[in-house]
Amino acid sequence: MSESIVVAEQVSYRVNDAVLIDDVSMHAQPGELVALAGPNGAGKSTMLRLLAGDLKPESGTVRVAGLDTHRAPPAEVARARSVMRQGRSADVPFTAAAVVSMGRYPHRSDPDNSKAADLRAIGAAMERVDVVHLAARVFATLSGGEQTRVVIARILAQDAPVVLLDEPTTALDVAHQERVLAAIRRMANEGRSVVAVLHDLNAAAHYADRIVLLRAGAVCAEGAPIEVLERGLLSELYGQPMIVTDHPTRNCPLVLTSDE
């Protein structure tokens, strides 16, 4: 088993009297895609921001690629992890190609890097998520789904060993959702450690190696999709009757809502 490259140990975080993350421990290894799932308000995005170093834990420790992301120099952190956040600005006055090229900024201090390598990484990233035809478009003029794909391309171009994604399939149609999820899965297959907030339990079931289910800021279940996606647990967690069965074409569970 590989040593974990993302490690959170007994992490807690609060805002005033509200406990948003309560004694959470989790990890992710190279080559692994871990999904953070759970109902609205469970603490998924907050946990991702703690992993990224955007927030400082009140207690506990977070290390990514051996770095304390809250204390390490920003340039080192940028080379260690790439992040897709919620609430990104939609009025970015740059072209899509320029936005993707920003992913190469952390590599400018690398003596082994070159402009040719940057261009290859940018082109390959845009091709992978089908945004080459958007290269000259101003980011602010793109649809929400197109903007999401451009941001994913920027993350691919950054080529960090750890990838942190907050709801990467937001605003995507079915075809592009599958294409982006496949690209994310490929990131993990290539050896990166990927942690993604996913609301779609069926996407998590098919693409994730492990699922961490959060409830009220605490871990209520963790394990392989077949272990975590259990009818009784999900029905109770979401307050909605659920059915879990075998997917008819994919080797994973299928989660359906029920009237009973």
The string of pLDDT tens digits covering residues 36-95 is 999 999 999 999 999 999 999 999 999 999 999 888 888 888 889 999 987 666 677 899
* pLDDT score, position 70: 82
Other Cβ atoms within 10 Å of 239 Cβ, number: 7
Phi–psi pair at 150, nearest 5 degrees: -65, -40
Q: What is the mean pLDDT of the chain?
A: 92
* pLDDT score, position 144: 84
Confidence of residue 2 (pLDDT cuts 50, 70, 90): low
Q: What is the rounded CA–CA span in Å between residue 223 and residue 221?
A: 7
* pLDDT score, position 66: 92
User: Is pLDDT above 60 for 128?
Assistant: yes
The CA-based angle 62-63-67, given to 5 degrees, is 135
Share of the chain above pLDDT 90, in %: 73
The residue ranking higher by pLDDT, 70 or 166, is 166
Token pair for 183: 């690209």
pTM score of the predicted model: 0.91
Report the C-alpha dihedral over residues 197, 202, 207, 208, rounded to 10 degrees.
50
* pLDDT score, position 46: 96
Q: Please provide the size of the chain in residues.
A: 260
Residues 176 and 130 sit within 8 Å (Cβ to Cβ): yes
Architecture label for domain 6-257: 3-Layer(aba) Sandwich (3.40)
